[in-house]
Amino acid sequence: MYKVQPICGGDVKVDLPTCMYKLANVHAQPANSCTHEHALQNGEVDPSVRALEARQDEIMRKLYELKAAVEGLAKTVTTPDADMDLTVRGSLSSQSSSSFRGEADLDTLLGKDLGALRDIVINANPARPPLTLLVLHKMLCQRYRVLSTVHVHSSVSSVPPQLLSCLGPRHPDSYARHLFQLGFTLIWKDVPKLQMKFSVQNMCPVEGEASVARFLFKLLAPYPSDAAAATLVDSWVDTAFHQLAEGGAKERAAVMRALNLTLGRGPWLAGRDVSLADVACYCCLLLAGSASPAPANVQRWLESCENLGHFGPAKVLLQ
């Protein structure tokens, strides 16, 4: 479009440096310096270099510890619906670490996690309290160091006091999350169906009290390896939630007869030990109001469940 005359001539020479700045070579020794304190003999490392490496190792160790702590806190910050909570109550089981029946490997059950705490978050409707989860929570507290917390979501206007304290009183060490193995967070929220969220990044929500109960019970004991025994447990769990809790009078009467017949052959519903089948049927019987007119075998089984101590929170909540 137009031409501009050059401002400076092309014969101007500019000395360009080969580097931004110069530093003395720390490995080269001056010609007039032969003292013992500066010479490196037999490949020995200078003491100042050793001190620098030790300092760097210590800094890296602290950084790794800080990273693990931050990742644990990040799980707390990303707790579902944590920003909408109105009331917070925390608790831990009163048992000391010496009274735990056993320390299970959560890395094997839930996958390896570098965070400080694994937090199981459950959304439940206060109009239908999940009794089975309260019983399983009691059992988890006797197996693990559990940090239990109750929240109230903004979608719920009010919650009875017994629901706010259903997981027990606040533990004095609840601020130190690294002392616990498992977090149990219960959020009273207006939801049509119970929901559980464990890993927000890697796991979709689990819906339904029966499905959540199966997940939690596997943290206590593995499902029977025998297919017939596992099917028997699942059958009783489905019967409890679909027929006892939601069925009519005829369905409940049929279930009561089946319970009485099965309990006449053994102390528990699925084997020689208490299982998820017993937990589910007991809680659904209480919720349906069918515990009072129970046959003899069922009444004896109800008393056996209450003697274990795990079922106390469910019965107290309905009183």
Q: Is residue 147 pLDDT above 90, yes or no?
A: no
Domain around 267: 227-318
Q: What domain count does the chain have?
A: 2
- Window from 134-143, 246-255, 304-313 with minimum mean pLDDT: 304-313
Band (pLDDT 50/70/90 cuts) for residue 86 is very low
Same domain for 187 and 243, yes or no, is no
179 and 199 in one domain?
yes
Over range 46-58, report the average pLDDT: 87
Q: Per-residue pLDDT for 49 more than 80? A: yes
**Domain finish residue from 199, 217, 235:** 217
pLDDT-based confidence at residue 145 (cuts at 50, 70, 90) = confident
How many percent of the chain have pLDDT more than 70?
Answer: 72
**Residues contacting 114, CB < 8 A, separation 6+:** 67, 68, 71
Is the pTM here over 0.95, yes or no?
A: no
Tens of pLDDT, residue by residue over 190-237, are 999 998 987 656 667 889 999 999 989 988 877 777 888 889 999 999
Q: Tell me, yes or no, whether 114 and 197 share the same domain.
A: yes
- Give the pLDDT band (50/70/90) at residue 159: confident
Instruction: State the helix-helix crossing angle for 131-141 and 209-217, rounded to 10 degrees.
Output: 10
pLDDT at 276: 92
List the CATH number of the domain containing 83. Answer: 1.20.1050.130
